[in-house]
Amino acid sequence: MDYKVIILSMIGLLILGCFCILFIIILDIISLCSMKFSSHITYLILRFILLILCAIALLISVLLYTIYIEHNWSYFCAIVGAVLVTVVVILSFMSSPCINTEDYRNKTY
C-alpha cells in the first residue's frame, strides 16, 4: 500500500480530531457565559456527537500509524490512544442527558 495515502489520511484524521476538540472547547467557553445555552438539548447533543467523532477519528489515526507505518512504538501508541479514547467516550456517556437524567430533569433557567 502507498505510504503517501496512509500518511495523508492519518494527518487528516488527526486534524479532524483536533478541530473537533477545538470546537468543543469553544462551545464550552460559550456555555460558561450562558446558562440557557449550556442546558439546551441541542448543545448537549452536538457536544456529545463531536466527542464521539473526535474519539473515533483519533483512534483510527493511531491504528493506521500502528498497522502501516512504525512497528517499534506502535503498540504503545495504540494502547495509549485506545485508553484515552475509551476515557473520552465513557465521560461523554456519563455526562449525557440520556444516561444522567437526574441532572437534566426539571431545570428552569
Task: Flag whether 83 is in a domain.
Answer: yes
> Ramachandran region of residue 40, left (φ > 0), alpha (ψ -120 to 50) or beta?
beta
Domain count, the chain: 1
pLDDT value, residue 108:
53
Taking alpha carbons only, the member of 33, 30, 26, 40 closest to residue 109 is 40
Higher-pLDDT residue of 62 and 78 is 62
Task: Flag whether 92 is in a domain.
Answer: yes
For 49, the domain range is 3-104
pLDDT digits (tens, 9 = 90+) for 53-72: 888 888 888 778 777 877 66
Coil, helix or strand at residue 71: coil
pTM of the predicted model, to two decimals? 0.67
Q: How far apart are CA 79 and CA 81, in angstroms?
A: 5
Task: Flag whether 109 is in a domain.
Answer: no
Residues 62-89 have a mean pLDDT of 72
Place of cell 442546558: 39
pLDDT value, residue 36:
80
Confirm if 93 and 99 have CB atoms less than 8 A apart. yes
Distances (CA, A) of 22 to 3, 70, 72: 28, 28, 31
pLDDT digits (tens, 9 = 90+) for 33-56: 877 877 788 888 888 888 888 888
Residues 2-19 have a mean pLDDT of 87
